[in-house]
Amino acid sequence: MTREEAVTLVKERVQNENLVRHMLATEAIMADLADRLGGNRDTWAMAGLLHDLDVEETADRMDVHGLRSVEWLQEAGFQDTEVLQAVRAHNPENGTVAGCLLDQVIVAADPLSGLITAAALIRPEKKLELVSLKSLKKRFREPAFARGANREGIATCEQFGLSLEEFLSIGLAAMQRIAPELGL
């Protein structure tokens, strides 16, 4: 499946534009993390792009979130086992263990995109280019800010050799690079 085909599939399956933007943001973060950590950029980006394909259908059933996405992808002929495993593993609530590096990274990158988006949206200009690493680190330490951005998941970056500061920096730069696509 090409990236263009994957984007088309995402836009067919996900009606909420903010969720589509979240998936695009996670794709960008995963691509840059692949470069930094020695992963396959295309594989990691695809995992980020497709990870929440079923989120609208499974929002009330987190025990199956990710699993339904894998079913849809396999029905569409998608066969990249690394991506399929990462899509399963990004949501520990479905019982899938994040084993390999790709799995571990997507568990951390998924909530990071939400934290960065929230940091942009609280600014009067609502622009990613104006979000600084310093303010992002401050927001990370505020548990009431962007409650849905799982801080424990983000902090797992240290398990794959990145400091929190470096991880936040990579994620912020990745999202700033595609800010127009994200509407930020």
Per-position DSSP letters for 5-26, written without gaps between them? HHHHHHHHH---HHHHHHHHHH
The per-residue pLDDT for 94 is 96
The per-residue pLDDT for 6 is 96
The per-residue pLDDT for 72 is 95
Per residue in 67-103, pLDDT (tens digit) is 999 999 999 999 999 999 999 999 999 999 999 999 9
Q: Are 182 and 128 in contact (CB under 8 A)?
A: yes
- Collapsing DSSP to helix, strand or coil, 122 comes out as coil
Q: Domains (ranges, CATH) in the chain?
A: 3-182 (1.10.3210)
Which burial class, exposed, middle or buried, applies to 124 when counting CB atoms under 10 A from its CB (0-12, 13-18, 19+)?
exposed
Instruction: Measure the CA–CA gap between 115 and 136, rounded to whole angstroms.
Output: 8
